Amino acid sequence: MTTPTPPNGPVAAAVLSCGSGCFALGVLAVAADGSKALAAALNFYKPSGPLSGVTTVAIALWLACWVVLAIRWKSKQLAFAKVSAAAFVFLALGLLLTFPPFGDLLLGR
Amino acid sequence: MELTHRELITAIHGMLFGGFFLMAVFGAFILLLELSSSDRCAAEAPARPWQAVYLIAMVALGWAAVVSGACIVYPWYRAVAPAGADLTLYPKFLLTAHPATAGWHNLGMEWKEHVAWIAPMAATMVAWIMIKHRAAWNASCQVRNAVLGFAAAAFLAAAIAGGWGAAINKKAPVEGGRTYQLMGNAR
């Protein structure tokens, strides 16, 4: 007797949302660096400055994305290789965007 | 032997939370490599209690490191120096006051303060899958590769943040606040 393969939807949701959360962090970091208005809007905790808003919003987006995808993909069997590839692209972009010289390049500095 | 309040909190942030998190992520990566061997996966072993405790502790250390850094230590680091102030109490301004040291802030701190957050995010995801979805890990090589990749990314992000943090704190230490006498006499 073989054990049925468990649905990979919940795992795919966790992986993809984590990748997108990292990407959101990178995008917000560069955007806040390039826009004084956005930096001011993200200044949630004055002693930490815009970093407080950048990280709070990125984490909120990550968790929201995780919850939504986990509910939608709860019992689904997905093409995990595609989901995983997308997650790694997001992760790589997120890592790259946090590197200041790359952000400066995008901002034309 | 003295230690100021800010030095103590910075040490707790970097050496206790950050340092142990870095070691824990590396340990978790080795554990995952061991668990991803084909014969172990075929056995479909559930997560052992100690593994769950280890992974939860790793995640807690990671979040403690970034939150304590961003909410407690970073405000001391970036505090604006009043005119004529002793810059040794204002590390960001001490570093940016001279072109030879400005890079420690403009590259090091600017990178560290953001990339650090990727580590606990990835570590949380890895721990969640290993604790709650071990069957999916056992069943799929693609899942194992994805989890290993994110664990490696967590280690990389933590190493970048920790490395820069240690170097910056050596160049321009966060100091100030109440002084604690650890050993001997102040006089």
Domain count, chain A: 1
Closest partner CB to B135 (pick from A6, A22, A48): A6
The answer, yes or no, to whether ipTM is higher than 0.85 is: yes
Is residue A82 one of the residues assigned to a domain? yes
The residue of chain B with its CA nearest to that of A77 is B136
Structure tokens at B71: 């909410």
- Give residues with Cβ within 8 angstroms of B101, minimum separation 6: B94, B95, B171, B172
What's the pTM value of the predicted model, to 2 decimals?
A: 0.94
Residues A95, B75: C-beta atoms closer than 8 Å? no
- Separation CA B128–CA B123 (nearest Å): 8
Q: Span A72-91, mean pLDDT?
A: 96
Residues A80, B44: C-beta atoms closer than 8 Å? no
Task: Please identify every stretch of chain B with a pLDDT value under 70, giving residue numbers as ranges.
Answer: 38-46, 186-187
Kindly state whether B129 is in contact with chain A, defined as any CB-CB distance less than 8 angstroms.
yes
- Separation CA A75–CA B32 (nearest Å): 25
Helix (H) or strand (E) holding B4: strand B2-4
Is residue A93 one of the residues assigned to a domain? yes
Contact B70, A49 (CB under 8 A): no
Is residue A2 one of the residues assigned to a domain? no
Closest partner CB to A5 (pick from B129, B139, B142): B139
Name the nearest CA neighbour of B18 among B181, B178, B157, B139.
B157
Residues A51, B113: C-beta atoms closer than 8 Å? yes
Of the listed ranges A53-67, A92-106, B16-30, B169-183, the one predicted with least confidence: B169-183
Instruction: Classify each residue of B151-179 as buried b or exposed e, where b means 16 or more C-beta atoms within 10 Å of its C-beta.
Output: bbbbbbbbebbbebbeebbeebbbbbeee
State the Cα torsion B51-B61-A90-B130 to the nearest 10°. 10
Question: For residue range B60-100, what is the model confidence (pLDDT) as tens digits?
Answer: 999 999 999 999 999 999 999 998 888 889 999 999 999 99
Range of the domain at A69: 15-106
**Does residue A1 surpass a pLDDT of 60?**
no
Q: Mapping DSSP to helix (H, G, I), strand (E, B) and coil, where does residue A45 land? A: strand
Closest partner CB to B129 (pick from A5, A14, A54): A14
- Give residues with Cβ within 8 angstroms of A107, minimum separation 6: A30, A33, A34
Is residue A9 one of the residues assigned to a domain? no
Contact B130, B51 (CB under 8 A): yes
